[in-house]
Amino acid sequence: MPFSVRLTVNGTDYEHEVEHRQLLTEYLREVLGLTGTHVGCDTSGCGACTVLLDGKAVKSCTVLTAQADGGNVTTIEGLANGNELHPLQEAFNVEHGLQCGFCTPGMIMAGLELLDRNPNPSNEEIRHALEGNLCRCTGYENIVRSIKYAAAKS
């Protein structure tokens, strides 16, 4: 028998019957079609699937949809206000914080939580806060700068 879940994702309420084993990532990608949340590994290491669950950055590949039942999820698709980019999104463009873009949604969501906790982080604090997110393209340099830029902006 499937499991009934109610979730709020990017401000919209949903109710679905899902497989008990379904991961939150799969729910977002396959059920809701929110493919901005990516899957880069199977050991909770890469952080590409990072979303906010009740305001906390989590790896959505390591949360069951059933576990998230009743929760409030924000994905990369929920950040911009219409055509107006969130300061972090803008920052990644301005500071060239992305290349292939695959890790980017997870980086932005991790950055979002960091700035929520620590609005003015040092470079070292940013690098430390990104421990759970792998990027193979940028050498992280411009990701750090992007988060600095967003911090300065907000």
Q: Binders of another protein among 112-141, rule CB under 8 A?
A: 113-114, 123-124, 126-141
Q: Closer to another protein at the Cβ: 13 or 131?
A: 131
Q: Which helix (H) or strand (E) holds 146?
A: helix 141-153
Q: Closer to another protein at the Cβ: 8 or 67?
A: 67
The answer for 131, left when phi > 0, alpha when psi is -120 to 50, beta otherwise, is alpha
Beta strands in the chain (DSSP E): 3-9, 12-18, 50-53, 56-59, 72-74
User: Hey, how many other C-beta atoms are within 10 angstroms of the C-beta on 154?
Assistant: 12
Residue 42 engages another protein in binding (rule: CB under 8 A):
yes
Residue 154 engages another protein in binding (rule: CB under 8 A):
no
Q: Closer to another protein at the Cβ: 40 or 72?
A: 40
For the CB of residue 12, give the shortest distance to another protein in the complex, in Å: 15
Contacts with 66 (C-beta within 8 Å, 6 or more apart), sequence order: 3, 5, 18, 20, 22
Binding-residue pattern over the window 92 to 111 for another protein, x denoting contact by CB under 8 A: xxx-x-xxxxxxxx--x-x-
For the CB of residue 154, give the shortest distance to another protein in the complex, in Å: 16
